[in-house]
Every structure is written in structure tokens, then in C-alpha cells.
Amino acid sequence: MFPTMSVKDTGYRKMNSLVDACRRAFGRDMTRYTNANFADDDSVNSVKLNAGISSNATHIRYHTGTTIWRLRSPLEKVLLLLVAVLLFVIFVLACILHIAEHRVKNVIQVEMDYSQPCLNKSCIQISNNILEAMDTSFDPCDDFYSYACNGWVKANPIPDGKSTWGTFQKLEQQNQLVIKRVLEQPMENLKSKAEQKAKMYYESCLDVNDTVEALGATPMLALLKKIGGWNITESGFDIKTWTLQNITQIIQNKYNIGGLFSYAVSEDDRNSSRHILQIDQNGLTLPTRENYLNKTEHAKVLKAYLEYMTKVGVLLGGELNSTRAQMQAVIDFETRLANITTPGELRRDEESIYNLMTIAELQERAPFIDWRGFFEDAMRIVNKKITSKEQIVVYAPEYLGNLTLLINEYNSTEEGRIILNNYMVWQTVRVFTVCLSKAFRDAYKGLRTALLGSEGGEEPQWRYCVQDTNTVLGFAIGAIFVREVFHQDSKLQAEEMINNVRNAFKKNFNNLKWMDEETRKVANDKADAISDMIGYPEFIRDTNQLDERFENLLVRNNTYFENNININYFNLKKMLEKINEPVNKTTWSMAPSTVNAYYTPTKNQMVFPAGILQSPFYDPSYPPSLNYGGMGVVMGHELTHGFDDQGRQFDKYGNLNHWWKNKTIEKFKQRTKCVVDQYNKFKINGKNINGNQTLGENIADNGGLKAAYHAYLQLHQAEPKPLPGIPLTHRQLFFVAFAQVWCSAVTKEATNLQIEKDSHSPAQYRVIGALSNLKEFSQEFKCKPGSKMNPRNKCEVW
């Protein structure tokens, strides 16, 4: 998911079209013309009227005497009056013709000015890119996404091996080229030890020494023995000595693999200045619980999953039929986990899922393992003590209670315990198979095709390895990326843009009738308190600080499997070190080269990495309309997340807090229901979008678009020249730029998975939904009320 030229505000920027421009320009000039020139006309006409007439006549003309008039006959009087009226009519017509001639000159002049577009290289390139993406055969008031993007979709088929292809992915690939070029330079050219470790990891992924292929299954077989063996293979498994406690501690506290639950050390939602233990539901391998529960619709996925598991088991030495039967038992167990897992759409109320308790209280609720023993085992890594009185936030107490019942059932028989161990070991195997030889990686293709409609693996290995290196050593890669392509001026310009968007967002508070005055004030304070991090964290520019961050990470260029085990442990230790430590609210959670942005409610912080501060989101050569339509909307989106249905529950300090008036909360929920109902009606591939699941992102899309547009309108700058070949105003181009950020092509399978899993709406409805709710869009494109892009009933939250 995302800086500006200052332009003086002119009358042109306030006009909706060229016709309006001409009319308004003429209106101003006409006033000036009338005031200045009618007096001159009177003087000229006076001379003409006075010519050939005596001074007496002149005197009589201005002083109404009675002597001569009384001598006239009635007929003469009538004729004189008619002549006077005729002369007056001629005079008026002459004035009108003169004014009309002046008006025509003015209109022609305005048209000539407007017809002189920007013709420098940058403007021509920008226009070409915009026009190639558009498809003007579509009515913008009927389907603006197709109008703005259909040309792009036709010209950009999904590449082989991809399930999604859009502007985000294209920009990511450009960034990958920059990183690849540096990582393939000699080691001595790199600026820090951290960057050298990134190069070594990259080379291990590329398998430059052919060790991955030569080793085959050997690394995984060695790992299986270390963790106690697997019943599928000859690896030393002994059910008589096995315990769930032991395998859980090994998998989660040594190899940092998620199992039946997930845990973390993170900011306390109610006291965001401290770190605290947190625990939540987990355990499903497939992306959604629906993959397990809707067996009719997902039969293809379940079949492919079983085949994938069986292939991996056989590659590790398992017998085919036995492996398939045992893997089916694991799927059956995961299906039962899916049954007790709460859907994400029902977990959006942060206050209701926050449950603070002690480890002793957790033990009473979910006694399927010894929790104090589990966490004591984890804290030995960082030499910290923990007691049964240690506080922990439990986000899924009902799940853990039901899990206890399920575990007790399986634990009661030897067969059940074998299934539990097979499940736990499978969680480890599936994570690390990507680090094994090609045969293991190919085993996943069938499942990937069933889930995403593409088997993957067609793109060059170096691309996968750049992405993988960025995932595990993102800040080292960030130092490389920032040094190579990021301009420091972009930070300052982005800061200016953010402030403009923030000011527009706050200004709109005054228009929100549903907010009470007190809530409006604290909301304004929170908006002011949102910090913004732009480009990169400062420590990556300091070689010593960067090296210190990765000092304890061991990486070699010929041990890809072991490198990943080391990285998992390294990240686990870094996380555990934070227990009961104060929170640094300037830390980043995203690598600088990432094409994305995010908002963190507990930090009340939004982050815009260097990777997204590029075309098509932002470019210094772009006119403000395009930069605000692209990057400005991204900024508004993240800002609005602080006030969506979840973010609004956190105050300006990042604490979960009931800081709104109850009546305002009820009115807010009424408005969010409108958004839920609206997006529920959007349909793709015969499937409706889940309005509850996507609510937060939809609120952010709508609020971000509105804030960015009004920030753009409030710029006080000279209007740029029109772009060549595009008969659109810059106000209209703002909306085109917004839409074209989301131009994308997606497989049917990937779209269906997104509808089931993703908190974001599909791209076309991120455009259509937000624009159809913004009245200013319909005004600019003159969409009739009741048209698809201008529905009579609109939803507005912010």
C-alpha cells in the first residue's frame, strides 16, 4: 500500500472546465470594461449629438425649457420622441456590439493560453504514461477504474509465474534491480559489515557454490533428529518419551516457528510505553479457515495441500501410502483448529479482544501446557526471569480454552499424540523446505497454483533472492538502496506534503456534524500527535550502528539452510530482549526499500519508506495534481488509519482508551455500517466483498482520498500548464493519478483468496468505492446523480 511544488492560487485553479474559465475571465473583464469605457462612449456620442447644433440647442438639450416644445404640434412631438428612441436604440446596439467584440477576443485569448500545454520532456513522458493506461471508451461516470486503467491492464498481462501484476509489483522489480547491482559488486565495495552479510546471504540463496542442490534433503533430516524425530521418516521419533510441552518449546522457543498459538513481546495496547507478553490464536497452514471448512468450494485446494505434504514427506524418506495417510490426519486436525478459530472480521473491536491476565490465570484457562515453564524456557535465551505473576495480554481466551479440550482429546491416545507431533513437526518442515533443493521447492507448485492460479518459479532466481534478502536483512539492504537512489530533498518535500494533508484532514473535522465538540478537540490533538517517519531510519546511515544491529547474526555464503535457522533465532532473541523494556516509538517495522507504507496505533506513527517515494506515487518532476493523487492519497490513507474503526480506539499516546463520547461513538458506528453495507454489495467472480473484514482499509481509502484532494486544492501556487494530449484539468488528473496507482491484473484464484483473507478490497473497488463517495469527484467529471460513480446515497465517515 503511498513532495510537492508550491503553486500560487489563481482563478484558473478554481474553475471546473475551459468553458467556465472563459466565462469567469470574461465576467471580470466585462466589469472593468464597463466601468472604464462607457464614460468614453458617452463623451463621443455627445460630440456627435452636438455636431451642427447651436449652443442654444445644447443648452436646451440639458435644461428642459418649455417655450419651443410648446410651439410643436402633437405630430411633431411624437416624431421627435420616436427619433430620440431610435437614436437611443442605435446607441445601445453599438455598445453591445463593441462589448461582444471584446468578449470574443477574451475567449479566444483564454483558449489560446489553455491550448499551450507543457511540452518539455518530462510532461511528454508523463502524458504518454497516463494516456497509455487509460481507456476513454469507458464513461468515467460509469466505471472510473476501467476508464483510468483498462489500457494498462490490456498492455500488461500477468507475467508467467505471477498471480498479481500491478504498479506496486513493477516498482518493486525496479527496486530489485538497484539492489542486485550493488549486491553483485565485490565485497570490498560494500560500506559495512551488515551489507557484507546481506551479500553473503544473497549468494547463499543463489546457491553460487551449488551446495543447496548437492545437499538435497540432508539439512532437513539433520534438523528432524534435533527436534526429536518425525513419525513419517526414520528420524528417531519415540512416542514413549514424547510430550507436547517439549516439542512446543523446541519448535517455538528455539526455531521461532508458530505452532498451536503465537506469542510475541510488543507494546502494551493500554500502556504503549512498555513492552508486554502477548498471545493469540494460530495454527492454520492454509491462508484461511474457509479453505478447511468449505470443502465443496475448496476441494481443489485441500487435494493440492495433501499432495504437497505427501511429496515433501516422501522426499524426506517417507513411504508413499503411509505418508499420505498421516498427512491426511494432520489436515483433519488443522480442520478442527479452523473450527475453533475466530474469523478476523469478528476481531476488529480492540477493546473486546484485549484480556490482561497473569500467567497463573492463563494456566487456569488453558492448562494444555505448563505456561510458566514455557515462558521460562523462552527467557533463558536472554537471561531474564519470569514468574507466574508476569502479566500477559491474551487476545483469544475462548480459542485457548477450546484448544485445551481439543488437545486433551488427542493426548488421550497414542495415535492422537503421534498426530500432534506430526502436526508440530510439519509446521517446521514447511517453513524450511524453501531452503532446500529444487525438488522440494517444486513440490509446492501444485498448491500454489490451486491457491493463486499460478505455480510460480518462472522468474529468475536472483529476484526471489533479492526479495528474500530484503525480508531477512532489510535495514542492511535499506542502507544500500537509500545510498543509491533516494534523494534527501524527497524527505523534506514529503514532510511538507504530509503536513498539508494533515491540515486538510483536521480542517474537515469542523464539517462533521456527528462529532461532539469535545471529541472533535481530542481528535484534532491526536492528528497533531501522529508522528511520521519518511524514507529510512537514521541509524542505517551510520555504519557502526548498522553493524551493531546485526553483530550477533552469523551468515555464510554457502549455508542457506543454516542461515535461515540462524536468522529465526536471531529475530526471536531480539524480540525477547524487549520484555519489560520501555518502548522506542521511533523504531521501524518495514525495510526502507519496501513499496508500501503503514500506521502503528500503539506508536501513533505512520511510516513511508523510500521504496514508495518514487513514480508513479511521487516524482519531483510531476505537477502537484499527480503527486497528491498518488503519494498524497497514500499519506492520507495512513493518517486516516488512526481514526478507522480500530485506530480510533487508541488515543494520541497510542493507548487503548475510551476517549470518545458514547453518543459520538454510536454515530460513528452508524456511518461505518453504511460503508460495510456498501462494500458488501461489490462483487467479483460471483463473490461479494466482505465489508466487515475490509472496513478499516475502506475507511482509510475514503478518508485519505478526501484529505489529499482538499490538501491539493489548498495549495497556493501558479497552476501548471496542461499536459499535452490530455483534455483534462489538473483537478481531474488528480483522480486519474489516484486510480492509476491501483491498475493491476490478478488471477481469478488470487482474487478469490484476497476476498476471503485480505483486509483490503480488490484494487478496482478501492478506486470505485472511494470515488463514488466523494462528491467533489462527481462535480469535476459532471457525473449525473444516480449514475454508478455518483450514487445518490453516499457513505462518509471522515
Positive or negative: CA dihedral 632, 634, 639, 644: positive
Q: How does DSSP assign 481-505, residue by residue?
A: HHHHH--HHHHHHHHHHHHHHHHHH
Candidates 323, 276, 528; CA nearest to 425 is: 323
To the query of whether residue 319 is one of the catalytic residues in this protein, the response is: no
**Strand ranges, E, within 118-210:** 164-166
Interacting residues of 334 by C-beta distance below 8 A, sequence separation 6+: 283, 284, 285, 286, 292, 423
Residue 97 predicted with pLDDT over 50: no
Question: In degrees rounded to 5, what are phi and psi of residue 607?
Answer: -125, 135
pLDDT band per the 50, 70, 90 thresholds, residue 122: confident
Cell of 464: 526471489
pLDDT of residue 60: 22
Beta bridge partners of 657: none
Higher-pLDDT residue of 403 and 716 is 403
| Helix, coil or strand: residue 119 | coil
Q: Out of 33-47, 80-94, 138-152, 494-508, which region has the weakest mean confidence (pLDDT)?
A: 33-47
For residues 516, 520, 526, 527, the Cα torsion angle rounded to the nearest 10 degrees is 140
Mean pLDDT of 627-656: 96
DSSP, res 366: -
Q: Which of 621-658 are b and which e, b meaning 16 or more Cβ less than 10 Å from the residue's Cβ?
A: ebbbbbbbbbbbbbbbbbbbbbbbbbbbbbbbbbbbbe
- Binned at pLDDT 50, 70 and 90, residue 2 comes out as very low
pTM over 0.75: yes
Of 27-31, 209-213, 614-618, the range with the lowest mean pLDDT is 27-31
Least confident of 121-130, 308-317, 418-427: 121-130
Mean pLDDT over 636-655 rounds to 96
Neighbour count for residue 393 (Cβ, 10 Å): 19
Give the DSSP H/E element, type plus range, for residue 745: strand 744-746
Q: What is the mean pLDDT of residues 308-327?
A: 97
431-461 confidence digits (pLDDT tens): 999 999 999 999 999 999 999 988 776 678 8
- Mean pLDDT (the chain) is 86
Backbone torsion region of residue 283, taken as left when φ is above 0, otherwise alpha when ψ lies between -120 and 50, otherwise beta = left
Query: Which range (11-20, 137-146, 535-544, 588-597) has the least confidence?
Result: 11-20
Domains of the chain: 12-114 (no CATH), 239-435 (1.10.1380.10), 501-535+596-798 (3.40.390.10)
Q: Sign of the C-alpha dihedral, residues 760, 302, 237, 554?
A: negative
Averaged over 237-263, what is the pLDDT? Answer: 96
Cell numbers for 440: 522440494
Helices within 628-661 (DSSP H only): 633-641
Is residue 169 within 8 Å of residue 156, measured between CB atoms? no
Q: Is 172 a catalytic residue?
A: no
Under the banding of pLDDT at 50, 70 and 90, the label for residue 647 is: very high
**Do 230 and 223 meet the contact criterion of CB atoms below 8 Å apart?**
no
Percent of the chain with pLDDT over 90: 77
Q: What is the pLDDT of residue 566?
A: 96
pLDDT(51) > 80 = no
Instruction: Choose the catalytic residue: 172, 701, 749, 780.
Output: 701
Task: Give strand pairing partners of 534.
Answer: 608
Give the mean pLDDT of 203-215: 92
* Sign of the alpha-carbon dihedral angle for 432, 435, 436, 440: positive
pLDDT of residue 12: 17
Count the neighbouring beta carbons within 10 Å of the beta carbon of residue 307: 16
Give the tens place of pLDDT for each residue, 323-335: 999 999 999 999 9
Torsions phi, psi for 659 (to 5 deg): -105, 5
The pLDDT of residue 6 is above 50 = no
Identify whether the C-beta of residue 250 lies closer than 8 Å to the C-beta of residue 238: no
Closest CA to 363 of 305, 404, 310: 404
**Cβ contact 475:194 at 8 Å:** yes
Q: Name the catalytic one among 172, 638, 719, 756.
A: 638
> pLDDT tens digit string along 722-750?
898 899 999 999 999 999 999 999 999 99
